[in-house]
A and B are shown apart, each in its own frame.
Chain A
Amino acid sequence: MPDARVMVVTGASRGIGRELAVHYLQQGYVVAGCSRRTPDGLPEGYHHFALDVGDEPAVKAMFAALRDRFGRLDVLVNNAGIASMNHALLTPLETVERILRTNVAGTFLFCREAAKLMQRARWGRIVNFSTVAVPLKLEGEAIYAASKAAVESLTAVLARELAEFGITVNAVGPAPIRTDLLAGVGEEKLQKLIRRQAIRRFGEFRDVLNVVDFFLRPESDFVTGQVIYLGGV
Chain B
Amino acid sequence: MTIDKARIREVVGAVIDELNAQWPDRPPIEKRGDAVLFGRSGSLDSLGLVHFVVGVEQGLAEMLGANVTLASDKAMARQHSPFRTVDSLVDFIAELLQEEASA
Contact = CB atoms under 8 A, between A and B. Distances in A.
B58 A164 contact: no
B54 A119 contact: yes
B57 A60 contact: no
Contacts of B61: 64, 67
Given A64-B61, A67-B61, A116-B54, A164 B69 contact: no
B98 to A, nearest CB: 18
A61 B67 contact: yes
A116 B59 CA distance: 12
Interface in A56-72: 60-61, 64, 67
Interface string B60-74: 011000010100000
B67 A116 contact: no
A47 interface: no
A178 interface: no
A12 B54 CA distance: 28
B69 A60 contact: yes
A120 interface: yes
A164 B49 CA distance: 13
**Chain A interface residue number, banded:** under 10
**Chain B interface residue number, banded:** under 10
B54 A164 contact: no
B77 interface: no
A59 to B, nearest CB: 11
B69 A116 contact: no
Interface of B: 47, 51, 54, 57-58, 61-62, 67, 69
Contacts of A60: 67, 69
Contacts, number: 15
- Helix, strand, loop or mixed for chain B's interface? helix
Contact of B47 (A61, A116, A120, A164): A164
A120 B58 contact: yes
A124 B59 CA distance: 20
Nearest to B66: A64
A152 B12 CA distance: 36
Contact of B67 (A64, A119, A120): A64
A67 B54 CA distance: 14
A61 B67 CA distance: 8
B17 to A, nearest CB: 15
A120 B61 CA distance: 14
Nearest to B71: A112
14 contacts: A60-B67, A60-B69, A61-B67, A64-B61, A64-B67, A67-B58, A67-B62, A116-B54, A116-B57, A116-B58, A119-B51, A119-B54, A120-B58, A164-B47
Nearest to A60: B67
A73 to B, nearest CB: 12
A120 B58 CA distance: 9
Nearest to B68: A60
A116 B58 CA distance: 8
A53 B82 CA distance: 29
A61 B68 CA distance: 10
A60 B58 CA distance: 12
A169 to B, nearest CB: 16
Interface string A90-121: 00000000000000000000000000100110
